[in-house]
Amino acid sequence: MMNLPLPKIERNTRASQMGLLLAVLLLLAAVSAPWWAERSSQRLLTEFLYTLALAQMWNLLAGYGGLLSVGQQAYIGLGGYCLVVLGLQYGIHPFLIVPLAGLVTALVAIPTAAVLFRLRGAYFAVGTWVVAEVFRLLVANTASVGGGSGTSITKTVSGMPAWWRESTTLWMALALGAGATLAVYLLLRSRHGLALTAVRDSEPAAESLGISVPRMKWFVYLVSAAGCGMVGALIFITKLRIAPEAAFSMDWSATMFFVVIIGGIGTIEGPIIGTVVFFFLREYLSDFGSWYLIVLGAVAVAFMLWMPRGIWGFVASRFDLHFFPVQRRIRGLD
């Protein structure tokens, strides 16, 4: 009788162990940034982290859940306006509002999803955009939250030392950016993650295996709404002024698409790479105003046409590199 070696099922890769070490080091560096970084780079880091959080949320929604949304700005704006209502009007501490905003947006997302899920595919996408416009117009028509011209929210953070405010903002951005990445990672490694990727790959096939596709979609949509709501509240703590045009701006969605498409949709590493590329381009090109946006649009179109899996999709398939392995692989069969 031949003695066959038992095949081994791997979930971790060498890259993922190195990645873990690297991630811990980066996290430590980011947490301690208020003590060693300049104020401007600290702000840039904050922005980087909340952009990453938004990108992960859109990636979860579109890349894994198959729900193409062009209207996540609805929840970003709503999260921002939680500062106005809960902070200015009810006097709740702004940093406490961030998690509350997640709760509020998730609650609002329930009836919204009930209506939107009547549309499928690309129709759903444009429908989400309509919803974001409805939210924007409703807010713009409500005088008590500042109407169309918006309002200052400086009062919510007055009395807080600047160092403390900026450091806490950074830590919360870190919690959201790293938290969103980790949450997506853990979700995908769980049983539900397997269901989710099955839904992404083929809805009918997933359904035939006993996965409730509608339930997965509801779950992903609500999680993404809550995530965008929390980020929205945090964004406007850093900006200190909110207006409907900016809060419910299509630019948020444009940024999320760009980051996820360039980085690699349906991968966890993708949004990280994409955010880095996005900030790199912005650093060097944003002085060119409209031309900067034209270049971003052209780059996104070019990627979609010639490298639809993004930078990370290309790297991962070429070099078999996975920092956040979510799949199981069988080794030792050959």
Partner 1 sequence: MAEWINTLLQGVLLGGLYSLFATGLALSFGVMRMINIAHGDFAILAAFAAIAVVEPLGLSPWMTLLVIVPLMGGFGYVLQRLVLNRTLGHDILPPLLVTFGLSIMIQNLLLVSFSADTRSLNVGELGTASVLLGGDVAVGVLPLIIMAVAVGVLVGLQWLFSATSLGRAFRAASDDREAAQLMGINNRHIYGVAMALAMAIVAIAGIFLAIRANISPADGPARLLYAFEAVIIGGLGSLWGTLAGGVILGVAQSIGLKADPGWGILAGHLAFLAVLVVRPNGLFARTRDR
Residues at the contact surface with partner 1, assessed by CB under 8 A: 62, 68, 70, 115, 118-123, 125-127, 129-131, 133-134, 137-138, 140-141, 148, 250, 254, 257, 261, 265, 290-291, 293-294, 296-298, 300-301, 304-305, 308
Closest to partner 1 by CB, 95 vs 124, is 124
**How is residue 274 written in tokens?**
């994409």
The nearest distance, CB 219 to partner 1, in angstroms, is 21
The nearest distance, CB 221 to partner 1, in angstroms, is 16
Amino acid letter, 327: Q
Q: What DSSP state is assigned to residue 6? A: P
Closest to partner 1 by CB, 163 vs 291, is 291
The nearest distance, CB 17 to partner 1, in angstroms, is 32
Residues 230, 176 contacting (CB under 8 angstroms): yes
Closest to partner 1 by CB, 118 vs 215, is 118
Closest to partner 1 by CB, 135 vs 324, is 135
Mapped onto helix, strand or coil, the DSSP state of residue 96 is: helix
The nearest distance, CB 131 to partner 1, in angstroms, is 8
Closest to partner 1 by CB, 300 vs 321, is 300
The nearest distance, CB 248 to partner 1, in angstroms, is 12
CA distance 2 to 92: 71
CA distance 126 to 128: 5
CA distance 41 to 30: 11
Closest to partner 1 by CB, 102 vs 244, is 244
Beta strands in the chain (DSSP E): 8-10, 151-152, 241-242, 329-331
Amino acid letter, 83: L
Closest to partner 1 by CB, 98 vs 265, is 265
Closest to partner 1 by CB, 20 vs 138, is 138
C-alpha dist (Å) from residue 21 to 13, 268, 316: 13, 17, 19
The nearest distance, CB 144 to partner 1, in angstroms, is 14
* CA 213-216-217 angle, 5° bins: 85
**How is residue 252 written in tokens?**
């948020």
The nearest distance, CB 134 to partner 1, in angstroms, is 5
DSSP output for 286-301: GGGTHHHHHHHHHHHH
Closest to partner 1 by CB, 310 vs 325, is 310
C-alpha 314, offset from chain centre: 21
The nearest distance, CB 192 to partner 1, in angstroms, is 22
The nearest distance, CB 127 to partner 1, in angstroms, is 7
Residues 261, 247 contacting (CB under 8 angstroms): no
CA distance 265 to 271: 8
CB 283: neighbour CB atoms within 10 A?
10
